[in-house]
């Protein structure tokens, strides 16, 4: 998972939902948050790997993700990130919004992803 850059929880369970804070494409286990090399697509790929670990820790899977929000620094990365998204999620894929933003609070970050999973407790 991405090391939180602020005073928030990386994940919370709310009943049957597991909600993840924005995940960045950081190298797992690094002493300090370090982005993977490459652009937005590579960062998104790693962010989704990080998210998958966090979902698992909270009793959910990628197949239970029902909503995602993708934040991009440059909408020109949209097509490449769509390829990553398609590889990460089998049909039926989660709903998604994509928003071009002015900044991410980590230098060099090009993509951030937020996920909601429906993972019934019983």
Where are the chain's structural domains? 11-118
Query: Average pLDDT of 64-81?
Result: 99
End-to-end C-alpha distance for the chain, whole angstroms: 26
pTM above 0.85, yes or no: yes
Residue 114 has pLDDT above 60, yes or no: yes
pLDDT at 65 (0 to 100): 99
Mean pLDDT calculated for residue range 97-121: 97
pLDDT band at residue 44 using 50, 70 and 90 as cut-offs: very high
pLDDT band at 1 (very low <50, low <70, confident <90, very high): low
User: Tell me, what's the pLDDT at 88?
Assistant: 98
| Average pLDDT, rounded, for the chain | 95
Domain 11-118 is found in CATH 3.30.1330.40: yes
Interatomic CA distance for residues 95 and 107, integer angstroms: 28
Confidence of residue 4 (pLDDT cuts 50, 70, 90): low
């Amino acid at each position: 998972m991405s090391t939180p850059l602020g005073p928030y929880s990386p994940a919370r369970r709310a009943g049957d939902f597991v909600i993840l804070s924005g995940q960045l494409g950081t190298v797992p286990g690094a002493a300090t948050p370090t982005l993977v090399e490459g652009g937005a697509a590579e960062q998104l790929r790693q962010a989704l790997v990080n998210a998958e670990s966090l979902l698992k820790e909270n009793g959910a899977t990628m197949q239970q993700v029902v909503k995602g929000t993708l934040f991009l620094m440059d909408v020109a990365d949209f097509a490449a990130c769509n390829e990553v998204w398609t590889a990460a999620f089998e049909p039926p894929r989660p709903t998604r919004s994509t928003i071009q933003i002015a900044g991410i609070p980590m230098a060099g970050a090009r993509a951030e992803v937020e996920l909601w999973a429906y993972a019934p407790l019983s």
